[in-house]
Amino acid sequence: MKTALIACLTIISCLAYGGDIYKRTGPDGKVFYTDVPPGGDEPQEVKVKVHTPSQTDIEAAQRRNSEIEAAANNAVRREESRQEAKEKLSEKLIDDARQDAEFRLKMAPRVCQWVGNRFGGREVCNK
């Protein structure tokens, strides 16, 4: 991986320089790319093709990028709507539970009990 990265960087720098690129295999089997012909053995010239995207490719990529952005924005809006609906439902459930509790308290029978001892106390009733 590291060798491939170095090779790519060498090729790119040579392209920027505008010189020839030579490929050489060392005695240990490693491949070297250079812009200077190595001494001793016969170098191989490597032709590098640089793909320049056409205008059609660029426009297709821009359209696809716009579609992806629109889909992402729609997903964000849907998630925000879900969160709002979830919050409203939660508020409604809490309100319904509160109303139900109040109704049950109103409808519950009155229960009283004596709090105290035989020498004194008071009667406590629910509301």
Q: Which domain holds residue 66?
A: 51-127
Residues 17-76 pLDDT 10s = 556 677 777 788 888 777 776 665 565 677 777 778 889 999 999 999 999 999 999 999
Whether residue 61 is found in the same domain as residue 122: yes
Whether residue 89 is found in the same domain as residue 75: yes
Whether residue 13 is found in the same domain as residue 66: no
Quote the mean pLDDT of the chain. Answer: 80
Whether residue 67 is found in the same domain as residue 113: yes
Whether residue 70 is found in the same domain as residue 12: no
Domain count across the chain: 2
pLDDT of 59: 93
DSSP string for 96-111 = HHHHHHHHHHHHSPP-
pLDDT-derived band of residue 120, with 50, 70 and 90 as boundaries? confident
Whether residue 31 is found in the same domain as residue 92: no
